[in-house]
């Protein structure tokens, strides 16, 4: 089985690929078209394992893809048995997460745990957050695939999470998945840093 997670940034896609790859025993490809990562380039077309999962962000496209007439993901999605579209409902919180890391960690080495502090408003970043959100919504409409929202997936609401599993068409053990989806694992923490061990 091959699964694609197509996400907007800061929507919980890293935890999701980890949980699904381990639970379903799928080989993970994390952001193969992110050329800012310090790793050897992954060539396109991808030579995917028979049982694999790819997590990619909606704005990431292979450098070698040159067909301006066909949207890359309209084509790429056809290589997969299952497609999960992931974004957030709340643009403001998405922007805050993105802007915080962009401002305080410009080297791209973003922490997995942080306590939000205000940053100067960046219109360009906010526009990018909105653009990526709208792109996921557009794919959902055109491909007739329900959107998975971060707020539901990491809600701690068992009924809501089980419904998402049904929508994905994946047989998943709730208890095993919840180890990853538990709201306490969210990257953004509340309170003061010294409240945590």
Looking at residue 193, its pLDDT comes to 66
Domain 2-195 has CATH 2.60.120.10: no
Q: What are all long-range contacts of 59-66, with beta carbons under 8 Å and residues at least 24 apart?
A: 59/128, 59/131, 59/132, 59/135, 60/31, 60/33, 60/34, 61/33, 62/32, 62/33, 63/33, 63/35
Q: Which of 17-26, 169-178, 181-190 has the lowest mean pLDDT?
A: 181-190
pTM above 0.75, yes or no: yes
Looking at residue 185, its pLDDT comes to 86
Q: What is the mean pLDDT of residues 68-79?
A: 96
Per-residue model confidence as pLDDT tens digits over 76-127: 999 999 999 999 999 999 999 989 988 998 887 776 888 888 999 999 999 9
């Amino acid at each position: 089985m091959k699964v694609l997670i197509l996400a907007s940034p800061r929507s919980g896609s890293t935890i999701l690929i980890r949980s699904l790859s381990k639970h379903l025993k799928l080989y993970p490809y994390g952001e193969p078209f992110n050329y800012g990562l310090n790793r050897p380039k992954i060539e396109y077309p991808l030579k995917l394992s028979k049982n694999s999962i790819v997590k990619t962000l909606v704005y990431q496209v292979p450098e070698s893809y040159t067909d301006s007439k066909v949207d890359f993901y309209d084509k790429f999605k056809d290589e997969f048995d299952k497609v999960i579209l992931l974004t957030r409902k709340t643009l403001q919180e998405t922007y805050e997460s993105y802007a915080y890391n962009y401002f305080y960690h410009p080297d791209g080495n973003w922490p997995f745990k942080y306590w939000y502090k205000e940053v100067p408003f960046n219109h360009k970043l906010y526009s990018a957050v909105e653009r990526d959100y709208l792109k996921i919504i557009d794919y959902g409409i055109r491909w007739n695939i329900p959107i998975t929202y971060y707020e539901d997936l990491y809600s701690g609401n068992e009924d809501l999470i089980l419904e998402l599993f049904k929508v994905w068409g994946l047989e998943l053990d709730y208890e095993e998945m919840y180890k990853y989806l538990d709201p306490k694992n969210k990257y953004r923490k509340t309170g003061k840093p010294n409240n945590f061990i």
